[in-house]
Structure 1
Amino acid sequence: MRFCCRADIFLGDENKTSLMCLGAIEPLSRLISHEDKTVRRNAVMALGVMASNNEVKKCLKTLDVIPAVISKLLPEENVVVHEFATLCLTSLSVDFSCKVQIFDHKGLEALIQLLSSPDPDVKKNSVECIFNLVQDIQNRAAVQRLNGLPPFLDLLRSEFPVIQQLALRTIENITTDSETRVAFRNAQGFDRILELLATKEFSDLHEGALRVICNCLEDSESMQLIQTMGGLEQILQFVGTATLPEAQANAVKAIARMAQSSENRNILHDRNVEKALTDLLMQENESVRTAVCQAVAAVSKNLSSKETFRCLGAIGPIVQLLNSEGSELRTAAAEALSSLTNSNNLNAFAIYDAGGDKLLVQQLRDSCTGAAVYAASVLTNMASQEELRRSILAHEAMPALVELLHSTDNNTLISAMQAVASLACDAEARLELRNVGGLSPLAQLLKSIHAEIRRNACWAISVCANDEITALDLCNAGALEILQEINLSPHRNNKFSELALQKLLDSSLSLKYSLTGHLSASDITTDGFYDPGQIRMGHQVPTLEDISKQVVNQHRAIIAVNGKPPDQFITKKPDDRKPDSPTETTASSVMSSTRSSKTPRCVCCVYLSMGFL
């Protein structure tokens, strides 16, 4: 008995579900291989239409129908069979397991052959199915191996816009593969893409064409080819003349991609790209301004471009974009400012004049990680100037940076520590850092398994250890013990860790003498130097104030240096001192002596007459 039906009765989802519930799917799956052409054609039509229903898809997967459907793509089959077989595969190809099955049964090869079919519906279904398949990396490379690029490029000239769009989207996807980009160049793909850009009637394709160009610009050969073909001028012209914001944004992205190499940046600078980008900052469209900021960040790696952007007045508008609601735009603006201020003090002052330091400090508390990272980078660049550094600190940058030191993101930690190090060269900044509890998290970051984090923590500590109080607080926070442990490790030891340890010791000679037992000829003791005795590893060095509060005992006296004249000493009564306690010594005896005894000192402080220094 023949099973004959017309596909148009299945257009509604309810009818498709009803037929499935009546058990029509299984016999239809068998009938697509029937020897009678009419039966076979109608069965394929029925399955092709019904396959768009989700429940029918699940049923077809269990019936393993894909090999039979692929077999209907052979050239000897009727065009109608091709149309509905490809329609069925298009519906199934959105599922990952079906993609694998289509690939394994050589469905991709058959679909590529049908791209040259005279029937537009077959072309449309085939290209859509391939578009679904190339979402998988394996299939992208396979399209190139099966010589699929030429027919796709031909479809860009189709009279049907839907076929053009699908072909372009597929090309965009497969050109993310490096081998496919080579094949794209060899197949004169740029000729066809630039042809689309030059045709106003194809304005709906311009955005996709520019995305294809962006993919291909990852290869230097493609960049050279585009320049030779005049494509660079065409893209730059397109930036200013495009009417669709999406197309403008993609043109700017293409420029940003070009600017990844120094040679291309020089070419772009010669073409006055800075003027085109600055003009686009006035656009209201957020995606365009985001793309512009990202392009500015890339182009500004060229030193001349940094100067040009400032002279064109681009810095002020970029600073104001830090107030934007969109986190992506705020991040892009901060990224642009980071690039503009890298090794450029004049741009740093331009940001300050535009009120950018306050906005950047606010951005340190931004919930968007990227925004905070780039903001910290800009502040690091600006902090090399004393006037700017003071302004940044006045906006409470240090508490905000200390909050970032508790982040779990590596980039955030690195940027925050670099900013702390750049600001902590001022004594007031170090005092604020101590007051807001920044030393302890800084010391703990020395334990990080991430080498870059450890290096930056070492650098920040070496800067912060420029005064004795901060150095002692860092030691009390555990920095000394951690640095000693790092420097004993052949894998973690580096110049930064050695510098940090040396700075801690040099900033507190009392600490250095207690731990090493000697001072060098370049170490100059000043008011407040004292010898607390040999301190073992893992024990904190007591401060002179702590020692003075202890009760006098029978142990050896603590030696302290006081540079005041003798008449300003505050001496103890004779009966309060032990008869055999030392009363004075010389500076040289303190500085050049090496401790021979590890006996704990007594807690009695003896002030030395240093009036002759």
Structure 2
Amino acid sequence: MLDSPEDEVLLKACEAIYKFAEKGDDNKMNLLGLGAIPRLAKLISHEDKQIHMYATMAFGVMSTNSEVRKSMRQLNFLPSIIACLAPDDDVVVHELATLCLASMSIDFTSKVEIYEKGGMAPLIHLLSSPDPDVQKNSIECISNLVKDYVCRAALTEINGIFPVLNLLSSEYPVIQHLALQTLITITTDVESRKALCRIDGHENLLQVLDTPEFGDLHADTLHILSNCLEEAQNVTIIRDSGALEKVLVFVATSTYPEAQKHATSAITRSARSTSETRHIFHQEGLEKVLVMLLGINNDAIRIAACEAVSVMSEDEASKETFRTERGIVQVVPLLMSDDVEMKEAAALALANLTTANSSNASAVFDADGVEPLVKLLSEPGDGIVVNAAATISNLALQEPIRARIQNCGAMTAIIEPLKSSNPVVQSKAALVVASLACDANGRTELRNVGGLEPLVELLHSNNDEVRRNACWAVLVCGKDEPTTAELCKLGALEILQEINLSSNRKNSFSDAAVKRLLDHNTALKYCLTGYLSSTDVIADGFYDPGRIKPGMKVLTLEEFSNQEMNQHRPILLINAKRTDGQQGTGLSVEEKLSDAPSVVSNRFPSSKSYSKEKTSRSV
């Protein structure tokens, strides 16, 4: 019948097929098997309006079946369907044509084809149709289309955002939800976010939030506003309209955890963009909102809030506000969470809060944050260790807190991070050593727990920051003779000398570290540099093995004593200590030296013979 040359037959056939297909998927499949699809496709553009209408209606109903759509995609029918969207066509045709396009737009290939065939503009026009079914089908199709980047850009270019916003006032919830889903998708695009705020679209969204009856729409609405806040430009626009504070209040008080999490993450991304944006958020009281979010019993929200605190802490005023709003007190307990991501986020927040801020460091100490931070150094996650180490380094700048950190076993805990294969962990671990080894107790503990060896190993690192921080730590550790002796025994001096020979590897601490190590070993200093300063004290145990080339290992007296006798010049040793039997006997220098180990040097003869003999005679 669909092939009949008679219009009346065609009309009755199309009408019958429409009614038959409307009754269920089985009927649609039967019609598909009978070959109705290609015949109906030809009749969509029939010159008879009634045939055109029923053919379109039948085709639209048939398109709701996935198997039928597969067959439809083999046909070039979309131009005919899009032509049905013309303003002068019947509302019923609009309804079924948009239903067909909405169904077809589920498939990516059809999305592209609908756009390329010019379907976007008439669909946007039909959003203002007086018929709710036409509106619903049109916005559903657009919602599917904008999942493709090209279609999102096209919607913005043809000013399609405003008609979508108008649907938020629809009396039909399904239309409102589809409009919100469309806006959520398009505001993932930078230009679309900017365009929405330029036309004051945020005002439409705030009206939804202000309407209690629209409570089921609040989560999606907050999602869209959050996307808009990612642009610094939009933050300024919303602030200038007086709406930013209201948005932040909705974030804090929303009963939708997922919306709160998304909003907080979006604010974090926005705050990270510019210092001006952070300043605006500070002025609008974001810190207080974040502290409220930290108190919510939801791990995802608290993690997002910690991340926001970390970013906002780049602003000094925000650091102070977080402390006065008791934000630090809220963050510290999160260090003991069972959630790995939570511990990492909390430690990062504290690291940023305490950077160059002694008051915040004291607040962490007062909140009993030291012990959990030290425990985090033993966590398997590198991110946790890095953030905890950074915080500990900040706290250790204050002597009372440093003592507490040491008492909690930080030197023992830092050994494994020093041995890590992760350069960031190594770097932060070396900083912890530098911050804790500035007093005798810290250095003694570091020696006792075997921390010097992995520290010296870091001097070999090819990572500039690791090598620099390791040199810094060695510089700090070289403040006393026992630690210096152990460092030299481990080869730190030779490694540092080698570093200083390279213009690419040397740093501001490597040269200072060499000087520091030599300050506590006048013998080494003399044989390496050839001179002693007026402040250097020649004490018992001073020896001169001869001039040593840079990079060569300097043996200890014990190591020299274990060597076989050879032809090289004897080593000059200062030993002014008297045994009990020698008190007051007035032994000569030669007799005193005879009590020292019989050692000789296998080094090259020294060019400093005269100065050494002079030194010997003066003892």
Provide the rounded CA distance (Å) in 2 between the counterparts of 1:576 and 1:375. 49
User: Shift in Å at residue 244 of structure 1?
Assistant: 3.7
Map 1:178-577; keep pairs closer than 5 Å. 178-239=190-251, 241-249=253-261, 256=268, 262=275, 274-446=287-459, 450-467=463-480, 470-471=483-484, 483-484=496-497, 486-506=499-519, 508-519=521-532, 524-536=537-549, 539-562=552-575, 564=577, 571=592
SS of equivalent residue, structure 1 residue 49: coil
TM-score (norm 1): 0.77
Question: Structure 1 residue 84 and structure 2 residue 90: aligned?
Answer: no
**Which residue does 2:5 correspond to in 1?**
none
Letter in structure 1 aligned against 2:408: H
User: Shift in Å at residue 226 of structure 1?
Assistant: 1.8
Contact 1:342-1:381 within 8 A present in 2 as well: yes
Letter in structure 1 aligned against 2:160: G
Question: Structure 1 residue 45 and structure 2 residue 25: aligned?
Answer: no
SS of equivalent residue, structure 1 residue 495: coil
TM-score (norm 2): 0.76
User: Shift in Å at residue 214 of structure 1?
Assistant: 3.2
**Which residue does 1:72 correspond to in 2?**
81
**Which residue does 1:592 correspond to in 2?**
none
Provide the rounded CA distance (Å) in 1 between the counterparts of 2:34 and 2:563. 93
Question: Structure 1 residue 147 and structure 2 residue 159: aligned?
Answer: yes
Deviations 1:378-412 (A, max 9, x none): 11111112222222222222343332344455544
More moved, 433-442 vs 548-557: 433-442
Map 1:116-127; keep pairs closer than 5 Å. 116-121=128-133, 123-127=135-139
Provide the rounded CA distance (Å) in 2 between the counterparts of 1:533 and 1:102. 88
Question: Structure 1 residue 598 and structure 2 residue 614: aligned?
Answer: no
Provide the rounded CA distance (Å) in 1 between the counterparts of 2:541 and 2:76. 89
User: Shift in Å at residue 264 of structure 1?
Assistant: 5.6
User: Shift in Å at residue 360 of structure 1?
Assistant: 1.0
Q: 1:553 to 1:488 in 2, by over 3 A?
A: closer
User: Shift in Å at residue 358 of structure 1?
Assistant: 1.0
User: Shift in Å at residue 122 of structure 1?
Assistant: 5.1
User: Shift in Å at residue 329 of structure 1?
Assistant: 2.9
**Which residue does 1:174 correspond to in 2?**
186
SS of equivalent residue, structure 2 residue 175: helix
Provide the rounded CA distance (Å) in 2 between the counterparts of 1:135 and 1:120. 23
Deviations 1:180-222 (A, max 9, x none): 3332222222222222222222233333333333333344432
Contact 1:562-1:609 within 8 A present in 2 as well: no
More moved, 156-165 vs 431-440: 431-440
Q: 1:161 to 1:421 in 2, by over 3 A?
A: farther
Q: 1:274 to 1:556 in 2, by over 3 A?
A: same
Q: 1:80 to 1:367 in 2, by over 3 A?
A: farther
Q: 1:312 to 1:600 in 2, by over 3 A?
A: same
Contact 2:61-2:96 within 8 A present in 1 as well: yes
Q: 1:542 to 1:248 in 2, by over 3 A?
A: same
Provide the rounded CA distance (Å) in 2 between the counterparts of 1:483 and 1:134. 60
Contact 2:306-2:349 within 8 A present in 1 as well: yes
Q: 1:577 to 1:349 in 2, by over 3 A?
A: closer
Contact 1:564-1:609 within 8 A present in 2 as well: no
User: Shift in Å at residue 266 of structure 1?
Assistant: 5.5
Provide the rounded CA distance (Å) in 1 between the counterparts of 2:597 and 2:320. 72
Contact 2:78-2:114 within 8 A present in 1 as well: no
Provide the rounded CA distance (Å) in 2 between the counterparts of 1:365 and 1:49. 58
Q: 1:214 to 1:408 in 2, by over 3 A?
A: farther
More moved, 145-154 vs 506-515: 506-515
SS of equivalent residue, structure 2 residue 414: helix
Provide the rounded CA distance (Å) in 2 between the counterparts of 1:305 and 1:406. 36
Letter in structure 1 aligned against 2:239: Q
User: Shift in Å at residue 448 of structure 1?
Assistant: 5.0
Deviations 1:25-76 (A, max 9, x none): 9984785455554456534532x3233x7xx88x66xx96496446623324
SS of equivalent residue, structure 1 residue 91: coil
Contact 2:303-2:342 within 8 A present in 1 as well: yes
Q: 1:463 to 1:148 in 2, by over 3 A?
A: farther
User: Shift in Å at residue 556 of structure 1?
Assistant: 1.8
Provide the rounded CA distance (Å) in 2 between the counterparts of 1:561 and 1:87. 97
User: Shift in Å at residue 377 of structure 1?
Assistant: 1.8
Q: 1:408 to 1:210 in 2, by over 3 A?
A: farther
Deviations 1:122-172 (A, max 9, x none): 544554555455455555444323433222222332333333334334333
Larger Rg: 2
Provide the rounded CA distance (Å) in 1 between the counterparts of 2:430 and 2:363. 24
**Which residue does 1:586 correspond to in 2?**
none
- Unaligned 5+ segments in structure 2 are 3-13, 47-51
Contact 1:134-1:173 within 8 A present in 2 as well: yes
**Which residue does 2:6 correspond to in 1?**
none
**Which residue does 1:591 correspond to in 2?**
none
Provide the rounded CA distance (Å) in 1 between the counterparts of 2:456 and 2:75. 62
Provide the rounded CA distance (Å) in 2 between the counterparts of 1:326 and 1:111. 47
Deviations 1:511-556 (A, max 9, x none): 4444455555665555544334444566433233322333433322
More moved, 317-326 vs 156-165: 156-165
More moved, 348-357 vs 511-520: 511-520
SS of equivalent residue, structure 1 residue 547: helix
More moved, 285-294 vs 267-276: 267-276
**Which residue does 1:161 correspond to in 2?**
173
Q: 1:539 to 1:289 in 2, by over 3 A?
A: same
Provide the rounded CA distance (Å) in 2 between the counterparts of 1:127 and 1:545. 88
SS of equivalent residue, structure 1 residue 87: helix
Q: 1:443 to 1:92 in 2, by over 3 A?
A: farther
Letter in structure 1 aligned against 2:569: R
Contact 2:351-2:394 within 8 A present in 1 as well: yes
Q: 1:562 to 1:313 in 2, by over 3 A?
A: farther
Contact 1:565-1:610 within 8 A present in 2 as well: no
Letter in structure 1 aligned against 2:430: M
User: Shift in Å at residue 306 of structure 1?
Assistant: 3.9
Provide the rounded CA distance (Å) in 2 between the counterparts of 1:551 and 1:499. 36
User: Shift in Å at residue 107 of structure 1?
Assistant: 5.7
Provide the rounded CA distance (Å) in 2 between the counterparts of 1:572 and 1:230. 88
Letter in structure 1 aligned against 2:101: T
Q: 1:435 to 1:232 in 2, by over 3 A?
A: same
Q: Percent identity?
A: 42
